[in-house]
Amino acid sequence: MYVYQEINGKVRDAVICLTDREREGEQIDRALLKNVLDIFVEIGMGKMDCYENDFEAAMLHDTAAYYSRKASNWILEDSCPDYMIKAEDCLRKEKDRVSHYLHSSSEQKLLEKVQHELLSVYANQLLEKEQSGCHALLRDDKVDDLSRMYRLFSRIPRGLDPVSQIFKQHVTAEGTTLVKQAEDAASNKKAEKRDIVGLQEQVFVRKVIELHDKYLAYVNDCFMNHTLFHKALKEAFEVFCNKGVGGSSSAELLATFCDNILKKGGSEKLSDEAIEETLENVVKLLAYISDKDLFAEFYRKKLARRLLFDKSANDDHERSILTKLKQQCGGQFTSKMEGMVTDLTLARENQASFEEYMANNPHAGPGIDLTVTVLTTGFWPSYKSFDLNLPAEMVKCVEVFREFYQTKTKHRKLTWIYSLGTCNIIGKFEPKTMELIVTTYQASALLLFNTSDKLSYSEIMNQLNLTDEDIVRLLHSLSCAKYKILNKVPNTKTISPTDYFEFNSMFTDKLRRIKIPLPPVDEKKKVIEDVDKDRRYAIDASIVRIMKSRKVLGYQQLVMECVEQLGRMFKPDFKVIKKRIEDLITRDYLERDKDNQNMFRYLA
């Protein structure tokens, strides 16, 4: 033991010196070092005190000093990827050193020293290097370097926090650039045709999907599916996915994008697999959008048009996206849409039995081929139903169908939505006879000219019983647009209440069958109004639910719980919540506490 006391200091220094020489690349006798270090262990008689106090502490101190010197040079000379390669190499070699001659209990302490000097001390400098730091690696898609960065920084305490922050900033910046590009493109194209703007918006959504695919792959592969990076990706997408483009909210853009993929003749020609994959991606993006209820309403409007006008390309895809939406947002989100799809199947069966009824009662027939789609009011968007004065031929159709329907059920009331109807009518023009495909409104207007050569604006309006807004759209489509079935006096481009109209007997076209479009009413305003109304009901219901279970609650607490309950569908506005609370007080659902104005009680 005396000999040990005499020489352990010199031996320790010699071992440390040899270790440093090995670090510099020299070959040393590792077996000799192992034998020497085993003596430190054995002297302890089963305890590690001698090894730890007489050798390990000094070795760790020297290691820290050695790597501190190295790191201070490398951080100035090397790029971030080169520095990381060196750091990873050093850690591998130190681990190797432990397995060859140091005691296994030193491994963790040794690696922590090296990590501290090479990574912790210079973490920020390394990540923020101008041309080669984390931003640059993300910008230049350096996947291997990013994987190495993850491996290294996951070793040090909270080392991944700054990496995930930079990742979030980078993705946010890329997404915001896409929004700006789409905004610029939309404002440049505003002067041109509307459908080009639509195309720009399609391109924008497609680019956002590609961006998401790219960075989700980074999260899964480079960052090993770590929750910090999933959170960073989510927060980044929430920032720019809730910005609108060209006056349209992201909820509307997504709904339009889906419509374009699911309808016949959409601008994207995709295989079934590609459509499925795209729909999957759309639903992923929807997770980042705060106004999910607005998306649902726009989607429902567009779904209704696809189903009612036979524009849907494939029933399986329609059902598939509803399944995906249901998984993402819950059954309540899709119940109406699923009802619409089922409704249409029932409507086809209904039409088949109507045709059978007509075949069995030929005398009852209206003399016109008639197809009626019966829908369930609760599932479909609300449509204006006017008491349009139908031409006699059509009145007969309505009566025949009503008689048939009453044979099936006595308890249901039919409300006719003429604004969604279409008619094929024959126009006998002097050059040739043609078939015109028009809406029920247009057909009703044209049939007036069977009995009159010339009609004024007010006569048409009175005979049809429509509003000014509808009459203007209607007459414009027939006298000022591409197909001038009616001649207008005076011959101007706009409709005014003093105009007269007459049948254009000289009308012709190279086709024998033409469709005369009626410009659609911009439904955006109505959708937003409907959603606002539904939100008021949802907030009322939420407040009552909370108060019913809590009985007494402070204002702040009530607002926070309400926001939390409704947050899955939309972000409620605090001012609106306050208004709804006041409204519920006037309707005797709640009352204010007499002593504390910010305290509310539930009134059973």
Residue 430 is predicted with a pLDDT of: 93
Least confident of 403-417, 484-498, 540-554, 574-588: 403-417
Domain range list for the chain: 2-121, 163-345, 421-515, 525-602
| pLDDT digits 0-9 by tens, 286-305 | 999 999 999 999 999 999 99
Residue 362 is predicted with a pLDDT of: 81
Least confident of 125-129, 197-201, 557-561: 197-201
CATH topology (fold) of 2-121: 5 helical Cullin repeat like (1.20.1310)
Residue 96 is predicted with a pLDDT of: 94
Tell me what the mean pLDDT of segment 145-152 comes to: 97
- The span from the CA of 349 to the CA of 358, in Å, is 14
Query: Considering the entire predicted model, what is its pTM?
Result: 0.85
CA-based nearest residue to 309, from 94, 598, 515, 116: 515
163-345 is classed in which CATH architecture?
Up-down Bundle (1.20)
Least confident of 385-389, 459-463, 549-553, 559-563: 385-389
Confidence of residue 190 (pLDDT cuts 50, 70, 90): low
With a CB cutoff of 8 Å and minimum separation 6, the contacts of 584 are 540, 543, 544, 590
Tell me what the mean pLDDT of segment 241-251 comes to: 87
- What's the chain's average pLDDT? 91
- The span from the CA of 296 to the CA of 17, in Å, is 71
Q: Is the pLDDT of residue 365 over 90?
A: no
CA-based nearest residue to 347, from 320, 326, 374, 367: 374
Residue 191 is predicted with a pLDDT of: 52
- The span from the CA of 105 to the CA of 353, in Å, is 84
The highest-level CATH class for domain 421-515 is alpha beta
Contact (Cβ atoms closer than 8 angstroms) between residue 434 and residue 509: yes
- The span from the CA of 293 to the CA of 530, in Å, is 10
Q: Is the pLDDT of residue 140 over 90?
A: yes
- The span from the CA of 132 to the CA of 148, in Å, is 14
In order of 227, 285, 564, the CA distances from 289 in angstroms are 20, 7, 16
| pLDDT digits 0-9 by tens, 44-55 | 777 888 899 989
Half-sphere exposure of residue 226, counting CA atoms within 13 Å on the CB side?
Answer: 18
- The span from the CA of 394 to the CA of 407, in Å, is 21
Residue 192 is predicted with a pLDDT of: 54
**Complete DSSP assignment for 109-129:** HHHHHHHIIIIITTHHHHHT-
Residues in the chain: 604
163-345 matches 2-121 in CATH topology: yes
| Percent above pLDDT 70 for the chain | 98
Tell me what the mean pLDDT of segment 80-98 comes to: 96
| Residue for token pair 């108060």 | 547
Confidence of residue 228 (pLDDT cuts 50, 70, 90): very high
Least confident of 178-187, 265-274, 527-536: 265-274
Instruction: Give, for 8, the enclosing helix (H) or strand (E).
Output: helix 2-23
Contact (Cβ atoms closer than 8 angstroms) between residue 463 and residue 454: no
CA-based nearest residue to 446, from 510, 494, 515, 391: 391
Tell me what the mean pLDDT of segment 156-161 comes to: 94
Tell me what the mean pLDDT of segment 99-107 comes to: 93
* Strand pairing category for 552-554 and 599-602: antiparallel
Return the SS3 of 432.
coil
525-602 is classed in which CATH architecture?
Orthogonal Bundle (1.10)
- The span from the CA of 191 to the CA of 55, in Å, is 80
* Strand pairing category for 433-439 and 513-515: parallel
Q: Is the pLDDT of residue 497 over 50?
A: yes
* Strand pairing category for 422-428 and 433-439: antiparallel
Q: Is the pLDDT of residue 197 over 50?
A: no
Q: Is the pLDDT of residue 162 over 90?
A: yes
Q: Which burial class, exposed, middle or buried, applies to 588 when counting CB atoms under 10 A from its CB (0-12, 13-18, 19+)? A: exposed
Confidence of residue 2 (pLDDT cuts 50, 70, 90): low
Contact (Cβ atoms closer than 8 angstroms) between residue 532 and residue 452: no
